[in-house]
Every structure is written in structure tokens, then in C-alpha cells.
Structure 1
Amino acid sequence: MKNWIFLSVAIVAEVIATSALKASAGFSKPWPSVLVAVGYGIAFYLLSLTLRTIPVGIAYAVWSGAGIVLITAVAWLLYGQKLDLPAFIGMGLIISGVVVLNVFSKAVVH
């Protein structure tokens, strides 16, 4: 269970870092740039810890799926990114895929 918590925190750190990447304006603003470096550092360190017990394909599927949905939500809320019906359907399919992978696949370590 600890490794799934590490993976969850890694995803949140990656989403924060990616959001700060936009705010850094090409690394021309110091504080958002520091947040990018620290956020990605934490994210990749915690991801590496999860790979001790969670298979890399499963960890990356969860990481990327959750990251896509969360960063899209952040971009919508903070940066005014417009989302249309196909975007919502696509994110729903991503979430569904991660759920199917975790609930029904025997490749996932619980």
C-alpha cells in the first residue's frame, strides 16, 4: 500500500511541476522554475521507489493516465484552457482504462 501512496504523491508532484512549467515562462521566472525542478525531482524519486514492487508498465500507465487528467483539469481551472465534449470523453476513457487495468488485470500487484 505504501508504494501506491508514493505513486500518488509522485503524480501530484508531477502535476504541480508541469503547472509551474507554464508559469515559469521558459524558465525566465525564478520561483516557478525552482518549483519545476523540485517538483520533478520529487516526482521521479517517488516513482523510482514505487518501481520496487509495482511493475513499470502498470506504474507508468497509472502515472500518465492520472497525470493527463489532472493536468488538463489544472489547465482548465488555472489557465482557462477550453475543453470540448471529445476532450471530456477522452479523459473518461483514460480514467476507465486505468480503472480496468487496476481492477481486472492480473499484472497489477495489490
Structure 2
Amino acid sequence: MLPDFEPIHLLYLSIAIVLEIGANVLMKQSHGFAYKRPAVAAIVCALAAFTALSYAIRGIQLSVAYGIWGGVGLVATTVLGMTLFGERLRVSGWVGLGLIMLGVGLLKFA
């Protein structure tokens, strides 16, 4: 089971997740860094996400925090890609997302 940690560390982890998702969407909008404003904003969001993650791991185990950060960020980015950009997944992609969510859930028992 996960050890108890302070709510502030969950807040930092949540901020890191939101910033990572923002960075991913902005990278898509920059069209391979052809448009400078979203490109610069993506870089700033990514740096801020890593900063927030570094604060989160002060009170959450690295493997747990990074797993949640990556897993939740990936699933949320996929959903936003589908809704904002009309991207679609094949069945294998849905299976992969399900396995990622299962893995993040299993971290609770690590």
C-alpha cells in the first residue's frame, strides 16, 4: 500500500499533470515548432511540469508519482487529441490505454 503523504504533494502532482497535458496540446498546435508562440508556451509548460513534479516527489515515491504523471497525462492527452484534433485510435490503442490505466491503478499496491 502507498504510504500516507501530504495533500500539498498531490496538488503539485496535479499541477504537473495539467502542465504536461498543456505542453502536449501546445506542441501539436505549434505544427512541429513552425509557430513560435505555441512552441515557446509548450517549452515553458514542460519545464514547469517537471518543476511541479520535482516538488511532488518530495513527498510521494518517485515510481508512484512518475507513473501517475505519465499515465494520467497520456490518457488525458489522448482524449484531448480525439476531441480537439479529431484523432482516432485503433482497437490496439484502446487496449494499450486500458493497460496503462490498469498499471497506474496497480501502483496503489506497490
TM range (shorter): 0.7 to 0.9
Q: 1:83 and 1:41 mapped to 2: Cα distance?
A: 29
For residue 42 of structure 1, the aligned residue among 22, 41, 48 is 48
| Normalised TM-score (structure 2) | 0.85
Q: What runs of 5+ residues in structure 1 fail to find an aligned partner? A: 106-110
Q: Which moved more, 1:24-33 or 1:8-17?
A: 24-33
- Counterpart of 2:19 in structure 1 is 13
In structure 2, runs of 5+ residues without a counterpart are 1-6
Aligned match of 1:108: none
CA distance in 1, matches of 2:32, 2:41: 13
Name the amino acid aligned to 1:93: L
Separation in structure 2 between the aligned mates of residue 69 and residue 28 of structure 1, nearest angstrom: 26
Structure 1 stretch 6-15 or stretch 91-100: which is displaced more? 91-100
Partner of 2:99: 93
Q: How many residues were matched structurally?
A: 104
Query: In structure 2, what is the Cα distance between the partners aligned to 1:2 and 1:25?
Result: 35
Query: Which deviates further from its counterpart, 82-91 or 47-56?
Result: 82-91
**Greater RCO (Cα-Cα under 8 Å, separation 6 or more):** 2
Q: Normalising by the residue count of structure 1, what TM-score does the alignment of the two structures yield?
A: 0.85
Q: Structure 1: which 4+ aligned runs deviate by more than 4 Å?
A: none
- Look up the SS of the partner of 1:54 in the other structure: coil
- SS of the counterpart of 1:92? helix
Q: Which deviates further from its counterpart, 12-21 or 92-101? A: 92-101
Percent identity of equivalent pairs:
37
Alignment of 1:1-110 (within 5 A): 1-102=7-108, 104-105=109-110
